[in-house]
Amino acid sequence: MIEISKIIIGYLILQGALLSLIAAIGVVRLPDVYTRNHAASKSATLGVISILIGLFMYYLLLDHHANSRVLLGIVFVFITAPVAGHLISRAAYNMGVPLWKNSVQDDLRKARKREKISE
């Protein structure tokens, strides 16, 4: 049981590290603020949560106690990171930051046009 737990914990932590690496590469390589923000908020959130779940399992299964701070960290990251990513993208859009030239869809512009028509 202990060996299987160590393998699962190691896998979760490694998976989180790889997702965080992918997020960092995405921030450097992607063309505009919206795609960069998407990479940073989504991939990094999953990476950090995966690492924290692995850490929680380590404390629970190998040290035999539940760490409430790690659980609070998981909840905090799970709630705040996507909201922050959304608000940063919305602020960039409201400031007039252009989309990448190859972006094919702008749903917010369509919604704003419908709002202006209905007023």
Tokens at residue 82, please?
């996507």
Per-residue pLDDT of the chain (119 residues; tens, 9 = 90+): 789 999 999 999 999 999 999 999 999 999 989 889 988 898 889 999 999 999 999 999 988 888 899 999 999 999 999 999 999 988 998 888 888 888 777 777 777 777 777 66
Give start and end residues of each alpha helix (H) in the chain: 2-29, 33-38, 44-57, 68-94, 107-118
Q: How many domains does the chain have?
A: 1
User: What is residue 119's predicted lDDT score, i.e. its pLDDT?
Assistant: 62
Cβ atoms 85, 40 nearer than 8 A:
yes
pLDDT of residue 109: 78
**Exposed (0-12), middle (13-18) or buried (19+): which is 73, by Cβ within 10 Å?**
middle
Q: List, in order, residues 6 or more apart from 22 with CB less than 8 Å away.
A: 39, 43, 47
- pLDDT value of position 100: 85
How far does the chain reach from its first CA to its final CA, in angstroms?
64
Its domain, for residue 105, covers 2-118
